[in-house]
Each structure stands twice: as C-alpha cells, then as structure tokens.
C-alpha cells in the first residue's frame, strides 16, 4: 500500500487525484486486478465523480452544504459535525478494476479526494493495488 500526502486550501473542496492514482497502478505493475483508494480521515472522503465540468463539483459541494450546513444546529459540541456527516455520506473509499494495466474508468469518471474540514496541510489517501 502506498500513502500519498496532500494539502487542501479550502473549507470544502474536491481534488482530482485520478492521475496520481494511475501512476501508482503503473508503478505496481499489476496487469489485471483491483485498485482501492482509501481515506483514513473522518472529515474527508474519496469518491468517483464527473471530471469535466468544475461547476458540477461546486454544485455537489453546495448540495452537501444544504444537507449538513456549517451553521446548522447540532447536538455535538465538536466544532465540525457537518464535516463528519458529509464524509460519512460520501464514504471513505472507492474500488476500481485494473484491466491491462490501466484503471477501468468511464469516459467522464474521475477519482476525487473530498475535503470537508479544511484547509489542512496533512491530508493523505492510501492506494492499494492487488
């Protein structure tokens, strides 16, 4: 398993990590198998998402903010309940088939690291290819 570190710049954002994950698959040299991308954070996620229109990413984050607004009323005394809720809704991992040494993604699919409690300097995701 390989750990890839990254920093985030905004309270919420989606970072396209598709190319970095492709590189990890190539380095591993697996011809046919599975690639798992996992976030061990409770306020960040890894998701499949449309990779062409950045406005759609803003729409997605705005929709999540309507579900779990930053200024909402929460029982928890923690400062970031909305980030935990968003992360749980999106999930911590994705699994992608590897076929002929390449990620098997749809034409419009990308892999995104989603930040819900940024900005953070010490974020990471983990890539395992088997």
> Domain residues for 121?
2-129
CATH code of residue 65: 2.60.120.460
Task: Report which secondary-structure segment, H or E, holds 66.
Answer: helix 54-67
Tens-place pLDDT, residues 2-45: 999 999 999 999 999 999 999 999 999 999 999 999 999 999 99
**Total domain count for the chain?**
1
Other C-beta atoms lying within 10 Å of the C-beta of residue 79: 9
Determine what percent of the chain is predicted with pLDDT higher than 70: 100
């Amino acid at each position: 398993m390989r750990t890839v570190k990254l920093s985030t710049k905004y309270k919420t954002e989606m970072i396209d990590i598709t190319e970095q994950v492709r590189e990890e698959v190539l380095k591993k040299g697996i011809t046919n198998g599975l690639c798992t991308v996992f976030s061990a954070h409770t306020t960040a996620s890894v998701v499949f998402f449309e990779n062409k229109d950045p406005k759609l990413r803003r729409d997605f984050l705005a929709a999540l903010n309507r579900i779990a607004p930053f200024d909402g009323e929460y029982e928890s005394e923690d400062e970031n309940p909305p980030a935990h809720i968003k992360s749980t809704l999106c999930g911590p991992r994705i699994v992608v088939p590897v076929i002929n040494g390449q990620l098997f993604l749809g034409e419009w699919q990308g892999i995104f690291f989603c930040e819900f409690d940024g900005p953070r300097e010490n974020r990471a995701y983990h890539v395992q290819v088997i």
